[in-house]
Amino acid sequence: MKNIGFFAISMRLKLLVTAVFISAAVTVSAPDSSNSLIFAQKFSNCIECHRDLGGELSAPVDAIKKDIHFQYGLSCADCHGGNPDIKTDDYEVAMDKNKGFKGKPAPQEIPEFCGKCHASASYMKKFDPNLQTDQLEQYRTSQHGLLLGKGDRKVATCISCHGVHGIVGAKDPLSPVFPSNIVETCGKCHSSKEYMAGYSIPTDQYEKYRKSVHGRALYEKGDISAPTCNDCHGNHGPMPPGVESIGNICGHCHLANWEMFIKSPHKEAYDATNIPECEICHGNHEILTPDDEMVGTSGKSLCITCHSPESKGYRAAGDIRNLIDSLKNSVSEAEAVVKKAASSGMEVGDAMFSIDEAEHQLTHARALVHTFSVEKIEKSIDEGVSSAQKGLKGGREALAELQFRRKGLAISLFFIAIVAVILYLKIRHRSKVQSASS
């Protein structure tokens, strides 16, 4: 029995020691919590050597730690080639050109340098099957790619927008191509008069965009769905949109307005005269919030820039503006009456609902301006005016009810006062009679 007991205690001690060693081993081999690597890195003599070189030669070693390629297990040799696995101090062995080593690529070589992986669907599937692999083909069709092909070394390439040795994913808010950063990224070149000298294109796009309705949505409201440069010009294949494609670009977001426009008489006329569709009225980089002053025949109207006073279009523009103004006036009148009734404590829910309907029709009529059809706009306006009048009637009835209640209250108070006076006189008379009899 003693031997059995000793054996049991011995086994328990062995298990305890084993558990301690296993625990220690797990602790030692556990990944550093500060290390965000997704895939482990292998030995690389590139990093071992460049780490100690200092200055710009060691800068890539620090930058690459945050690089998305590094996080996926790629390292220097996956882009630059060479012989990174051998532990050697001989840089000619490490950077052996027979092993495919290529140092810093020239600007004209960069698209193919990145494209050797990113244009390979079979290679990119190893990391994300959903990644696009047509960036290189798109770039070759872009204005940047075409100029690069002609020998222009200043044009943007992959690294101009994505960076180098510290590239983060496009969905990372720190990425230069994240929606909130794209305008600044494009603006680095396109806002510089010195850099853009010789290209004969404006350099005020950035400042104009910030003032636009899209720019205010992005910068003031933090709306990263607001259109930026790449939404209109493309990202890997940016080109200035042609006249015939502007409507399609705007219609990507403003679909309802675009569908109205292409069915309107303006579509055919614009195509025939090569007028840039949406841009002719709304502008391009400094698109402001549209208002009613844009329509009609007043001095601020855009319609009169094309339509002469004797034209059918000029008369239609005037009619459309008058219709819109008539509904606006109806809504304003109804709102004033209903607000007065509401501030007096009257119930005006139905009247306010009617006014909401009228305002909805006003918004609809403003959108229908893209049809340039007086008949369609008039129908919407008539429905809106009817709703506004219904709201006005409800407001007036509420005010009439208020007056009736006030009059009723005054009459009631009057009779109550008379009764009170009579009671007072009656009590006073009885008091005098009692005093006289006593």
HEC profile for 313-339? HHHHHHHHHHHHHHHHHHHHHHHHHHH
CA-wise closest residue to 295 among 404, 370, 209, 402: 370
**Looking at residue 39, what is its pLDDT?**
58
Q: What is the pLDDT of residue 26?
A: 35
Segment 288-313, tens digit of pLDDT = 999 999 999 998 899 999 999 999 99
The DSSP symbol for 345 reads T
- Tell me what pLDDT residue 237 has: 92
What is the pLDDT confidence band of residue 316, given thresholds at 50, 70 and 90? very high
Write out pLDDT tens, residues 362-403.
Answer: 999 999 999 999 999 999 999 999 999 999 999 999 999 999
pLDDT value of residue 57: 87
Q: What is the mean pLDDT of residues 31-56?
A: 68
Contact 42, 72 (CB under 8 A): no
pLDDT at 53 over 50: yes
Contacts of range 312-321, beta carbons closer than 8 Å, 24 or more positions apart:
313/372, 316/372, 316/374, 319/374, 320/295, 320/296, 320/369, 320/372, 320/374, 320/377, 321/292, 321/295, 321/296, 321/297
Q: Give Cβ neighbours of residue 240 (< 8 Å, ≥ 6 apart).
A: 143, 233
Which letter does DSSP use for residue 151 in this model? Answer: T
Contacts for 170 with CB less than 8 Å, ≥ 6 apart: 177, 178
Using the Cα atoms of residue 310, residue 312, residue 316 and residue 322 in order, give the sign of their dihedral. positive
Least confident range of 97-101, 151-155, 194-198, 225-229: 97-101
pLDDT at 259: 96
Residues 82-93, mean pLDDT to the nearest whole number: 81
**pLDDT for res 40:** 58
pLDDT at 351 over 90: yes
User: CB under 8 Å to 150, separation ≥6 — which residues?
Assistant: none
**Single pTM value for the model:** 0.77
Measured distance between the N- and C-terminal CA atoms of the chain, rounded to whole angstroms: 125
pLDDT, residue 15, reads: 43
Residue 11 has pLDDT above 90, yes or no: no
The more confidently predicted of residues 373 and 243 is 373
**What would the mean pLDDT of 9-31 be, rounded to a whole number?**
41
Residues listed for the chain: 438
Nearest to 294 by CA among 284, 283, 308: 283
What's the pLDDT score for residue 327? 98
- Can you read off the two tokens belonging to residue 107? 């600007």
- Both tokens of 137, joined, read 């083909």
What is the token pair recorded at 288? 């402001």
CB contact at 8 A, 381 and 324: yes
pLDDT digits (tens, 9 = 90+) for 206-242: 999 999 999 999 999 999 999 999 999 999 998 888 8
Predicted confidence (pLDDT) at residue 127 exceeds the cutoff of 50: yes
Q: Is the pLDDT of residue 112 over 50?
A: yes
Residue 56 has pLDDT above 80, yes or no: yes
From residue 8, give the alpha-carbon distance in Å to each of 5, 11, 13, 17, 20.
5, 5, 9, 14, 18
Q: What angle do CA 130, 131, 137 make, to 5 degrees?
A: 130
* Residue 436 pLDDT > 70: yes
Average pLDDT, the chain: 89
Residue 16 has pLDDT above 80, yes or no: no
- Split at pLDDT 50, 70, 90, the class of 43 is confident
What pLDDT, in 10s, does the model give residues 253-268? 999 999 999 999 999 9
Rounded (to 5) percent helix, strand, coil in the chain:
65, 0, 35
Structure-token pair, residue 163: 């960076």
The yes-or-no verdict on residue 420 having pLDDT over 70 is yes
Are the beta carbons of 350 and 394 closer than 8 angstroms?
A: yes
Range list of β-strands (E), 20-65: none
DSSP-assigned letter for residue 153: S
The single-letter code of the amino acid at 126 is K
Share of the chain above pLDDT 90, in %: 72
What residues contact 350, with CB distance under 8 A and at least 6 apart? Answer: 394
